[in-house]
Amino acid sequence: MQPDQLAAALADLDCRAQRRRRAVLGSAQGSRVVLDGQSYLSFASNDYLGLANHPELIDAVRQAADSWGVGSGASPLVTGHSALHQEAEVALATFVSRPAALLFGSGYAANLAVIGSLTGRGDAVFADRLNHASLNDACLLSRATLQRFRHNDLNHLDDLLRQSRAKTRLIAVDAVYSMDGDEAPLAGLAALAERYDAWLYLDDAHGFGVLGDGRGSLVGLPASDRIVYMATLGKAAGVSGAFVAGSTALVDWLVNRARTYIFSTAHPPILAAALLASLRLIERESWRRDKLQAHIARLQGLGNDNGIKFIASRTPIQPLIIGSNELTLSMSNRLRQAGIWVPAIRPPTVPTGSARLRISLSAAHEAHEVTQLVEGIAAVLAQG
């Protein structure tokens, strides 16, 4: 791409209804948000439990700021790893019942770091076709051979693993698929990892806090040192960053080899304080998950009554596949005119021809707001 080609390339994105534009948020997260100066009922955030603007998190940040200030000053290996980070790592490892955990500045950074620290040239990464972009990038950066298997197809994965001559094999999946809301067949994946002596890397960005009493998708899987668990902390946990949990040796290896951990400034300690407050709420307030499940059931039930076919998903991600980019964008715009914010998700985020409205529900919503959403979608669909 040359400097003088940018304008034409952007115009081309416009023609294909693929140009992205940001709206400026003028409020905290919640069921209603202000975007570009207008108030909307929002189904766009991943704040599934309604914790991003919770008073206990805000208090924790205020108090921590008094003792710890704002910046962390350096990477964790230099002087950035504070007592608050240490406490948060122990709390996270305990919460997901694994021996050790390590905090990262983001899920993207965690994915790049872990896959790159465990695999390299001559190794192979087996990745579901619908994995998150950050996992795909992690595979490319690791220089391992990337082998993609059909979505949730254990037989296809089995074939690929059987034929592989790689020294180290790593299976990488989203535990909950970010644009579809469905779940990976974890027990079957764990069995294949065992049979073929492979790592199993689980990206639980959308399951942590929501599934397994908040403990995420690991719950119910046999404990194994070949399973590497990653969850992000900017979604249901309402804070920022991510953590990786696994064996003590794994975490020690990451401290020594994970490039995005070693060569990046530590997360501010106030965020570790917010996270500790968030973990207490995730553990204590199961009503948030119950409320979310009630919203999911309401959306699916009202959808059925109105002939609207949401993808079957028991997670807060409830997509409505439309197909064409133009129609999806126009539906999203018409909902917006009705005061409802639902993002249009288009390629390359999802496969060509599967553009969709991605609804995400939250415990911050009220039942009548879910009803309002379904009525809004039914009205827009009736217009064609």
Binding site for ligand PLP (CB under 6 A): 106-108, 111, 132, 134, 174, 178, 203, 205-206, 232, 234, 242
126 residue type, one letter:
F
The DSSP 8-state label assigned to residue 196 in this structure reads T
The yes-or-no answer on residue 309 being catalytic is no
Instruction: Kindly state the smallest distance separating residue 292's Cβ from ligand PLP, in Å.
Output: 17
Residue 107 or 268: which CB sits closer to ligand PLP? 107
Residue 81, annotated as binding a ligand: no
Surface-to-core class of residue 168, CB atoms within 10 Å of its CB (0-12 exposed, 13-18 middle, 19+ buried): middle
Instruction: Kindly state the smallest distance separating residue 196's Cβ from ligand PLP, in Å.
Output: 24
Residue 264, annotated as binding a ligand: no
Q: How far apart are CA 67 and CA 56, in angstroms?
A: 17
Of the candidates 121, 157, 125, 122, which has an alpha carbon nearest to the alpha carbon of residue 139?
125
Residue 286, annotated as binding a ligand: no
Q: How far apart are CA 243 and CA 254, in angstroms?
A: 12
Chain centre to alpha carbon of residue 152: 18
- Based on DSSP, count helices (H) and strands (E) in the chain, helices before strands: 13, 13
The yes-or-no answer on residue 27 being catalytic is no
Residue 109 or 374: which CB sits closer to ligand PLP? 109
Please pick, among 54, 85, 206, 291, the residue that the annotation labels catalytic.
206
Residue 206, annotated as binding a ligand: yes
How many other β-carbons are positioned within 10 Å of the β-carbon of residue 137? 14
Residue 234 or 347: which CB sits closer to ligand PLP? 234
Residue 151, annotated as binding a ligand: no
Residue 45, annotated as binding a ligand: no
Residue 240 or 374: which CB sits closer to ligand PLP? 240
Instruction: Kindly state the smallest distance separating residue 107's Cβ from ligand PLP, in Å.
Output: 2
Residue 107 or 216: which CB sits closer to ligand PLP? 107
Residue 97, annotated as binding a ligand: no
Residue 54, annotated as binding a ligand: no
Of the candidates 192, 236, 196, 190, which has an alpha carbon nearest to the alpha carbon of residue 215?
236
Instruction: Kindly state the smallest distance separating residue 304's Cβ from ligand PLP, in Å.
Output: 27
8 A C-beta contact, residue 179 and residue 356: yes
8 A C-beta contact, residue 126 and residue 103: no
Instruction: Kindly state the smallest distance separating residue 165's Cβ from ligand PLP, in Å.
Output: 29
The per-residue b/e assignment along 358-384, b for 16 or more CB within 10 angstroms, e otherwise, is: bbbbbbbbeeebbebbbebbeebeeee
Residue nearest to ligand PLP (CB): 107
- Dihedral over alpha carbons 74, 78, 84, 86 (to 10 degrees): 140
Sign, CA torsion 173/178/180/186? positive
The yes-or-no answer on residue 267 being catalytic is no
Q: How far apart are CA 320 and CA 329, in angstroms?
A: 13
Phi, psi for 299 (deg, rounded to 5): -60, -45
Instruction: Kindly state the smallest distance separating residue 182's Cβ from ligand PLP, in Å.
Output: 13
Residue 98 or 132: which CB sits closer to ligand PLP? 132
Of the candidates 231, 374, 218, which has an alpha carbon nearest to the alpha carbon of residue 297?
374
Residue 48 or 341: which CB sits closer to ligand PLP? 48
Please pick, among 45, 178, 278, 332, the residue that the annotation labels catalytic.
178
Instruction: Kindly state the smallest distance separating residue 89's Cβ from ligand PLP, in Å.
Output: 16
Active site residues: 178, 206, 235
- Summarize the annotated binding site as residue ranges: 20, 107-108, 132, 178, 206, 232, 349
- Summarize the annotated binding site for pyridoxal 5'-phosphate as residue ranges: 107-108, 178, 206, 232
- Summarize the annotated binding site for substrate as residue ranges: 20, 132, 349
